[in-house]
Structure 1
């Protein structure tokens, strides 16, 4: 009686299974084109709304301020989902108390330097000169309280998040993918942030504003800290616009 022959083990059966790729080693598949695409969305939506709405009333004014920024930020998130690993892995957009406290600390220092720089800038440029695009749009417009609060929350919390997704998310990650040094990434993203606001007369001031925000991203390696720093930096300007829009402060 023949004994059944046992099957020979596969050649690689004794090899240990390949460990899963660690999260930190995963790379995304988007580059500078993704940033330019999201930035183009912002510009095209802004221009389209301005052309379509003409002289806006209070509601359309809020739409013109909020929609382009939110759409551009949403596009940035979608790109990371479709072509990468999502914003948590690609941007480091996750909750860490250390990132929050770092963002608060650096943002507070930035708020002081930005306030001083803004005062010097206004003194140099003259009253009413060198205003931001948002300030010029709401200048002389008294908004209903609900809409004034919407603009306040947008400038303070939402716009910083969306802008960080673009400049220190997509752009930063694209330059890292090109193996540029962290210092070069910091310098170039700071410059593009200032130029990308399309306010040539305020570019120097925007550079001053952008430096501490970029430092928060640089020292933590994650986006959360720069988002918090940006939000801290935007609080006083947002509050000032709220009070002006409600007629509680002179324009």
Structure 2
């Protein structure tokens, strides 16, 4: 195909629009929005069970540390496992259904949007803290580990989860399963981006921080939108989570308070 002539307005339009995915085998899987509701139910129910177990935990610090680690990781891990099973049983597997890739382009796009998001969310968090106060701006995990000194191994485990593993799990669920379910309804890409960003923020179940979570979700969703692949949003989310993960590490080691 010949390049557009100089001054052709279609060239500018193409440059401003996110590209279509390079390959799109179609949404021929048998799961839809109901699959996301099922996965979210797995997350909520497992969190409820763990919270009930927290009430039975004794005052011993080892027990409380175990509760923090299990309560933080297990619900999202179970929801992610349910997501992968859905794509295996009712679809073509996660690589096709969730557009799961991890290559150089994903790294490049993810780093770009992740760094943009890191700047935006740092500024937004500073403004939000001034508006609602430092205590109300703190995440539920930050409040959970505050004044709770952990062994180094446990603190590093939590740090790696918040920085690398948690974002991977959440992206599989939100920019993978949920995104694919909404695309299957043949909604426009910008509508899918907006809805997944909103649901991502609300589903954290932290009402005071929902607006801040919306800011966090925008660059992550844009990485998915512009690349057409899950790997880019995973990288963007991991870059964005590095600072809060480091804060959790320092808090859990008793170096700073939330």
Give the TM-score of the pair, scaled to structure 1: 0.88
Per the alignment, in what secondary structure is the counterpart of residue 141 of structure 1? coil
Does residue 90 (structure 1) correspond to residue 97 (structure 2)? The answer is yes
How many residues in Structure 1 have an aligned counterpart in Structure 2? Answer: 230
* Residue aligning to 1:30: 31
* Residue aligning to 2:3: none
CA distance in 2, matches of 1:239, 1:130: 17
* Residue aligning to 2:83: 76
The equivalences for 1:111-150 within 5 A come to: 111-150=118-157
Find runs of 4+ consecutive structure 1 residues off by over 6 angstroms. Answer: none
Question: How large is the RMSD of aligned CA atoms in angstroms?
Answer: 1.3
Q: Post-superposition shift, 1:136? A: 1.6
CA distance in 1, matches of 2:27, 2:68: 42
Q: Post-superposition shift, 1:25? A: 3.8
Structure 1 residues 155, 46: CA separation in 2 closer, same or farther (over 3 Å shift)? same
* Residue aligning to 2:207: 200
Deviation string for 1:38-60 (max 9, x for gaps)?
11111111111011122551112
Deviation string for 1:114-147 (max 9, x for gaps)?
0110111111111211221211211211111111
Q: Post-superposition shift, 1:23? A: 7.1
Deviation string for 1:180-227 (max 9, x for gaps)?
110110001111011111111111000000000000000011100001
CA distance in 2, matches of 1:25, 1:144: 48
Does residue 170 (structure 1) correspond to residue 166 (structure 2)? The answer is no
Q: Gapped runs of 5+ residues in structure 1?
A: 1-21
Structure 1 residues 26, 38: CA separation in 2 closer, same or farther (over 3 Å shift)? closer
Per the alignment, in what secondary structure is the counterpart of residue 147 of structure 1? helix
Q: Gapped runs of 5+ residues in structure 2?
A: 1-22, 58-62
Does structure 1 retain, via aligned residues, the 8 Å contact 2:42–2:75?
Answer: yes
Does structure 1 retain, via aligned residues, the 8 Å contact 2:29–2:97?
Answer: yes
For the pair shown, the structure with the greater C-alpha radius of gyration is: 1
Per the alignment, in what secondary structure is the counterpart of residue 197 of structure 1? coil
The equivalences for 1:100-249 within 5 A come to: 100-249=107-256
* Residue aligning to 2:19: none
